[in-house]
């Protein structure tokens, strides 16, 4: 098992174990640092959804930086168990772990920031795009990782982008 660290906020430098689950690719430190520089380091008051939580690192980073609410959705039993263990160890009361399929998730309330880092090569972004309007607040932002560069996802347009190895990462806002 490998470990990754929370890069900022109240839980900076805390380590998270990454379980061995097929397709799980935790967002690298450098990419997360770039993302939270784009977003600003203080996420106070934001409601965040990590729809393909995996290791949960994006959601834990958001909570560490003051997000009001963070929901982690994961369907793999092994990853889900690890998320619950991390949550207990980190003691972040604003984080909720939900067992379920991303396409069947019923969001309550709507979210200000959604992290989308689905398994590659399975068409998840195209499947999720039509569902996004029911999950987002009017000024919501999307963070998307993909195996290829994006220009848009549904009505959201890329406003910032970067790449690190085979990971293409994007910040999108509604057009």
Supply the mean pLDDT for the chain.
92
Residue 74, pLDDT > 80, answer: yes
Dist CA 127 CA 33 (whole Å): 28
Give the pTM: 0.91
Token representation of residue 94: 């604003």
pLDDT, residue 23, reads 79
Instruction: Please state the rounded mean pLDDT for residues 126-145.
Output: 92
- Count other Cβ atoms within 10 Å, centred on residue 2: 10
Q: Tens digit of pLDDT for each residue in 81-105? A: 999 999 999 999 999 999 988 888 8
* Cis status of the peptide bond prior to 109, with omega within 30 of 0: yes
Q: How confident is the model at residue 25 (pLDDT cuts 50, 70, 90)?
A: confident
**Cα torsion at 115, 120, 123, 129 (round to 10°)?**
10
pLDDT, residue 107, reads 66
pLDDT, residue 60, reads 97
Question: pLDDT: is 104 or 125 the higher one?
Answer: 125
The architecture of the domain spanning 2-174 is 3-Layer(aba) Sandwich (3.40)
Dist CA 43 CA 28 (whole Å): 20
pLDDT, residue 13, reads 94
Residue 66, pLDDT > 90, answer: yes
pLDDT, residue 79, reads 94
Residue 143, pLDDT > 80, answer: yes
Residue 1, pLDDT > 70, answer: no
Above pLDDT 90, what percent of the chain? 75
* Cα-based angle 127, 170, 139 (whole degrees, multiple of 5): 80
Look at phi and psi of residue 54 and say left if phi exceeds 0, alpha if psi is from -120 to 50, else beta: left
Dump the DSSP string for the chain: -EEEE--SGGGTT-EEEE---TT--PPPHHHHHHHHHHH-S--BT-EEEETT-TT-HHHHHHHHTTBSEEEEEE--HHHHHHHHHHHHHHT-TTEEEEES-GGG---SS-EEEEEE-PPTTS-HHHHHGGGGGGTEEEEEEEEEEESS--SEETTEEEEEEEEETTEEEEEEEE-
Residue 159, pLDDT > 80, answer: yes
Above pLDDT 70, what percent of the chain? 98
Domain boundaries, the chain: 2-174
């Amino acid at each position: 098992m490998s470990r990754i660290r929370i890069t900022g906020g109240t839980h900076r430098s805390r380590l998270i174990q990454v379980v061995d689950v097929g397709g799980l690719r935790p967002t690298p430190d450098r990419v997360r640092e770039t993302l939270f520089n784009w977003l600003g380091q203080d996420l106070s008051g934001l409601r965040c959804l990590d729809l393909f939580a995996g290791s949960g690192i994006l959601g834990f980073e958001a909570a560490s930086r003051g997000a009001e609410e963070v929901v982690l959705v994961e369907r793999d039993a092994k990853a889900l168990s690890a998320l619950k263990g991390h949550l207990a160890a980190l003691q972040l009361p604003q984080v909720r772990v939900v067992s379920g399929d991303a396409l069947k998730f019923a969001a309550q309330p709507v979210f200000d920031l959604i992290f989308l880092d689905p398994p590659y090569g399975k068409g998840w972004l195209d499947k999720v795009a039509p569902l996004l309007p029911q999950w987002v607040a009017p000024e919501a932002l999307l963070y998307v990782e993909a195996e290829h560069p994006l220009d848009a996802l549904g009505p959201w347009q890329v406003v910032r982008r970067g790449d690190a190895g085979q990971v293409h990462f994007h910040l999108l806002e509604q057009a």
